Structure 1
Amino acid sequence: MIVDFDVAFGDHVLKGDQYVGDGVNRVLYLHGAGTGSRRGHHLLRNALQQRGIGSTSFDCIGHGDTGGTLAQSSVASRTRQAQAVAAARALPEPLAVFGASMGAYNAIRFTQSHHVDALVLIVPGVFTPTAYEVPFGPEFSAVIRRERSWADSDAWDILSRFEGRLLVIAAENDATIPREIPERLVAAATRAQSSRLHVVQGAEHNRLWSLLAEDPPSFDAAVDMVADTLNGGRQ
C-alpha cells in the first residue's frame, strides 16, 4: 500500500508518499537535485516494502509534485523541509535516513537534530558550509563549482560523531561525484557501529538501481545490504 500525503511548509505544500511496511515505518528517504524526485527511487523503495520495510519520501520545493521554483529553496531549506515532514508524519525514532546525491548531505545534517541509527547514502554529494543557506541559482552554482569546494565540508566532522550504522553506495562510473567523497565519508565515520562502502560496477550517477535491476541476483544482494544496515531488516 502507498499512502499519499501533503505537508504544509511556509507558502508551499510538500507532496509525498509512504510505502507502508509491515511494522514501524521509520525510513525517511531524501531525493537528489536536478530533475530528481521521490518517484525516481521507486525500485529500491518497492523492494524494501516487499521485505516489510516502509519508507516515507517527498518532493522538495522545486521538484516533482510539490512544484515551485528552485530559487525558493536551498540545501538548508531541504533539511528543514525534511524535518517538517518527519514531524508531520510522526516518524518514530530512531530514524533510518536515506539520501541520494544532494539528499545524502541533507541526511548527514539530519543526524544533528534527530536520533538516527542508520544512514544509507547513495551516490552521495557533500557541500561546503558556505553553500548551505545560499538559494539555488547562479550564486549557489558559483560556490559549489569552485574546484574541490566540497573538500572543506562539515560532513566529515558530523559523521565522525555518528554512532549508528552507515552504508555508502557509490557508482563506479560516476561523472558527478568524485570517488574520494564516498571513500572519505566511510573513513570519517570512526565511531559508527558499522560502516561500509559498496561500489556498483558499471553504474553511473543517475543509473544505479536500474542497472542493478537488470541482474536480479545483484539487485537482491544490494537490497539485502540495505536491509542489513537497517539492523537485519527491522522496520
Structure 2
Amino acid sequence: MTARIEQFGVPYGDFLLRGDHYAGARSNHTLLLHGAGASTRHMHHLLRNALQERGVGTTCFECVGHGETGGLLAQSSVASRTRQAEAVIAARAMDEPLALIGISMGAYNAIRLTQSHPVDALVLMVPGVYPPDAYEVPFGPAFSAVIRRERSWMDTDAWDILARFEGALLVVAAEHDAVIPLEIPERLVAAAGRARQRELMVVEGGQHNRVWALLAEQPERFDAALGSVIAALHKGR
C-alpha cells in the first residue's frame, strides 16, 4: 500500500510552519511534537510510518528554527513552540479531544497543551520538562542558563499540570538516556494520579536519540512497544 502523506504549510507570524499528515483510519486528532536541537519531522518517519500501517494517522510540523520551516532557534522559545502547535491545530481543524505524542522538549509542549485543549491521550517519549521561568525565554544563552541550573527540572509545573490530566498516559523512557534522568519519567507517571490509565515503559538499551531505531532491530520488541503506544492512543477515546 502506498503511504498517504499530505504536505502542508501553516502561517505563523513571519514564518510558514511546514508539516505533513500521515493519513489513517483515525486520522485527524493525533499530533506529534518533535524535540529540540536539530530535530525535524522526518526523524520520526519510522514511528509514524509504523503507526500509519496500523491505521493510526498522525500530523507533525517543524517548529521555527527547524527543518523546512527555517528561521533561527533564537526566534522561538518553549512557549512559542506551544503557540505554534496551537496554530497548526486550528489551521488543520484537528478533531478534539486530541491525542498528543511529545518527544523530548515536545513532551513538555504536549503537557502544556492540555491546559488549552481537550486532550484524552498523552504519549511522552524521553520527556524533557522545564521550570516556568524558562518558558518564554528565547532559545540561546539566557535559556541555557536557566535550564542548566542544578536539577532545574524539579521546579517544573509539569507535575501540577499532569495532576489534573484525566486521559490515558504512556511515558516512554530510554534506559541509557544521557539527557533525561529516569527520575523525570517516573515522576511524570506518579504525578498523573487522576489519569484513566498511566504506564511507564523503559526501553532496555535505549538512548535519548535512539529508541525506535533500536527497537526496530528486534521486530518483536518493536511490535510490543508500538502496541503500547497504540493502546494508549485508543484508550484515550
TM-score, normalized by the shorter chain, greater than 0.5: yes
1:101-140 alignment runs, 5 A limit: 101-140=104-143
Contact 1:53 / 1:233 at 8 angstroms: preserved in 2?
no
By how many angstroms is 1:173 displaced?
0.1
Structure 2's unaligned 5+ residue stretches are none
1:11-90 alignment runs, 5 A limit: 11-90=14-93
Quote the Cα distance in structure 2 between the aligned partners of 1:233 and 1:51.
Answer: 17
Quote the Cα distance in structure 2 between the aligned partners of 1:30 and 1:228.
Answer: 19
Contact 1:29 / 1:99 at 8 angstroms: preserved in 2?
yes
Partner of 1:195: 198
Quote the Cα distance in structure 1 between the aligned partners of 2:40 and 2:73.
Answer: 13
CA gap 1:152/1:18 in 2 versus in 1, 3 angstroms: same
Contact 2:9 / 2:19 at 8 angstroms: preserved in 1?
yes
Quote the Cα distance in structure 2 between the aligned partners of 1:58 and 1:206.
Answer: 19
By how many angstroms is 1:22 displaced?
1.9
Contact 2:105 / 2:127 at 8 angstroms: preserved in 1?
yes
Residue 233 of structure 2 is aligned to residue 214 of structure 1: no
Residue 175 of structure 2 is aligned to residue 172 of structure 1: yes
Partner of 2:231: 228
Count how many residue pairs are aligned between Structure 1 and Structure 2: 234
Quote the Cα distance in structure 2 between the aligned partners of 1:128 and 1:200.
Answer: 26
Specify the code of the residue in structure 2 equivalent to 1:190: G
By how many angstroms is 1:231 displaced?
1.9
Deviations 1:59-104 (A, max 9, x none): 0000011010000000000000000000000000010001000000
Query: Match of 2:215, SS?
Result: helix
Identity %: 68
1:5 is aligned, of 5, 8, 12, to: 8
Contact 2:126 / 2:180 at 8 angstroms: preserved in 1?
yes
Deviations 1:23-46 (A, max 9, x none): 442100000001111111111111
Contact 2:41 / 2:60 at 8 angstroms: preserved in 1?
yes
Structure 1's unaligned 5+ residue stretches are none
Quote the Cα distance in structure 2 between the aligned partners of 1:233 and 1:72.
Answer: 34
Quote the Cα distance in structure 2 between the aligned partners of 1:154 and 1:163.
Answer: 17
Contact 1:51 / 1:233 at 8 angstroms: preserved in 2?
no
Quote the Cα distance in structure 2 between the aligned partners of 1:56 and 1:212.
Answer: 22
